[in-house]
Amino acid sequence: MSCFETSKFLKNPQVFSKDILIKAAERLNWEYKVTENEVSITKIPNQNVRGEYAMKITGSKVIYNSYYLKGGKQLVDELQGVFYKLNVEYAKKSILTEFENVGFTLKRDYDFEATETEVDKFYMVGYSKNQNEEEKRTEIEFTILNDGTVVSDTNYLPADMHKLADKAMRKLEEKLGNKRDENNIIKREVPIRYQNKIEIISNKIKAKN
């Protein structure tokens, strides 16, 4: 993580597909069978697949039984809709857990209005314990997209808070199953008031200790 940057955790559906798809199937009241590499939907209300699978998910790919299944594409879309909602819930819970574990607290964005693409936005707020730090309060903005992709936005981070945020981000990468996409990191211009307070280390903008 760097000060004054916008970055994106692209959702990796292969990491969470099994657990979240099982929950999606349960919400839709679909019966399923789990093997090591795939989840098979075995029974859907008002569908007769004669003992065959209705759909199966291998990795992130959904295959439906076009021979027996009526409205297969529509059912896939229905499953995907629930799947995405669960990814959003999982992403937010993961952010809250990891940042609260290192001392940040949630700040809601009461002015945020969800769109078709952006479904949630909030801040994680922390306070520096460095006695020499003039700006002790810091906040990191998080936006969650409709498929569970996470966008983070930082401004100035005091050195001690930067270390804690990095620790939380590493845990978050593990939970989301993907590192932040280097091609989607946007480094912003450092405001004049901070230029004497920061330094660049390994292409990252950090507050001086």
Question: What are the helix and strand counts (H, E) for the chain?
Answer: 3, 12
Give residue-wise pLDDT tens across range 181-193. 667 788 888 889 8
Give residue-wise pLDDT tens across range 106-161. 999 999 999 999 999 999 999 999 998 889 999 999 999 988 889 999 999 999 99
String of DSSP letters for 98-153: HHHHTT-EEEE-TT----SSEEEEEEEEEE---TT-S--EEEEEEEEETTS-EEEE
Give residue-wise pLDDT tens across range 19-49. 777 888 888 888 888 887 788 888 888 888 7
**Rounded Cα–Cα distance for residues 149 and 81 (Å):** 15
Q: Give residue 62's pLDDT.
A: 73
Q: Which numeric CATH code is attached to 15-85?
A: 3.30.310
Question: What is the pTM for the complete model shown?
Answer: 0.76
Q: Which numeric CATH code is attached to 5-12+90-207?
A: 3.30.160.110
**Rounded Cα–Cα distance for residues 156 and 169 (Å):** 16
Q: Give residue 163's pLDDT.
A: 94
Cα–Cα nearest to 60, from 78, 36, 80, 89:
80
Q: Which two tokens stand for residue 15?
A: 């990491």
Q: Between 6 and 68, whose confidence is greater?
A: 6
Ranges of each domain in the chain: 5-12+90-207, 15-85
**Share of residues in the chain with pLDDT > 90 (%):** 33
Q: What is the DSSP letter of 166?
A: H
